[in-house]
Amino acid sequence: MLKKRKNRPSQRISPKQERLFYRIVAFLALIALLWIVFAPGSGLFGYYRSRAKLTRLQNDVSLLEKENSQLRTENDRLRNDPVYLEKIAREKYNLLKKNERVFDFSKGKPKTLEKK
């Protein structure tokens, strides 16, 4: 047959034990909260640091993509636009066409050679 369960009297904890229990729970919750905030590499500070780094790197990528686009445009112009190529050759590298001469009319004192 079925065994009868014995009714145990409910164990009541004293107010002192209850306060101790709540203090332990509060202490453990505080430790857990501090761990979440300050955990090395994975806490909130680490998260915000990583987000700032991600934003900075995204800005760098954006700037580099813009610079890359400008360089591609310049490269295309140098390959396909002879007028632009001539302009760059003359201004940047001081190249001349055949039978051309450079006359420099810049203001400055003429240099004279004197013999003593």
Give per-residue pLDDT as tens, 87-104: 999 889 888 888 888 887
Q: Which pLDDT score is estimated for 37?
A: 79
CA distances from 90 to 19, 40, 76, 97, 112 (A): 89, 59, 19, 9, 29
Q: Which pLDDT score is estimated for 13?
A: 82
Give per-residue pLDDT as tens, 66-77: 999 999 999 999
Locate 15 and state its tokens. 């107010």
Give per-residue pLDDT as tens, 34-46: 888 787 777 787 8
Domain ranges, ordered by start, for the chain: 40-99
Contact 37, 44 (CB under 8 A): yes
Q: Which pLDDT score is estimated for 7?
A: 67
